[in-house]
Amino acid sequence: MSELPQRKTNRLQGYDYRQNGAYFVTICAKNREMLFGKIVGAVDNRPPHIDLSDAGKTIEKEIQVMQEIRENIVADIYVIMPNHIHMIIVIEDNGRLTTAPTLSEIIRLWKRAISKQLGFSPWQKSFYDHVIRNEEDYNRIAEYIENNPAKWREDRFFVLL
């Protein structure tokens, strides 16, 4: 019997994802399907932006709910794209007595809540993360997220319909 290939871990080995910090997260739709909305062109001097589908609106609502439920979690900046989401999630454990959940647990519960509301799972397995190490790193990533809709055709997740 041949062995199945080992899936490479996406997480930084030895890093405690419960600790205070900022994390850049990218979560993709299964098969990169365009489920979350569409990019619409510039109007009235506005740059291209996303017109959210019902699924996209559910995602946006659950970003807010995630922050309300977990007082130590902030989605500092995010963008919902047609087939993926970019977020900077900040974990701030202000000395609470309970153990903070890991980043993976936060994302798993968030994805599950959205899937339950939609009646199906729109998600690719796992997610990408990057531990933000300093202010320069944060600013570079925040600019990338803010400019993502305007650079949609250059995005590695872009799919021509």
55-107 pLDDT, tens per residue?
999 999 999 999 998 888 999 999 999 999 999 999 987 665 556 688 999 99
130-161 pLDDT, tens per residue?
999 999 999 999 999 999 988 877 766 666 55
CATH number given to 29-149: 3.30.70.1290
pLDDT reported for residue 18: 74
| DSSP codes of every residue in the chain | -PPPPPPPP-SPTT--TTSSEEEEEEEEBGGG---SEEEE--BTTBPPEEEE-HHHHHHHHHHHHHHHH-TTEEEEEEEE-SSEEEEEEEE---S-SSPPPPHHHHHHHHHHHHHHHHTS--BPSS-EEEEE-SHHHHHHHHHHHHHTGGGGGGSTT----
pLDDT reported for residue 100: 67
pLDDT reported for residue 45: 67
Please state the domain extents for the chain.
29-149
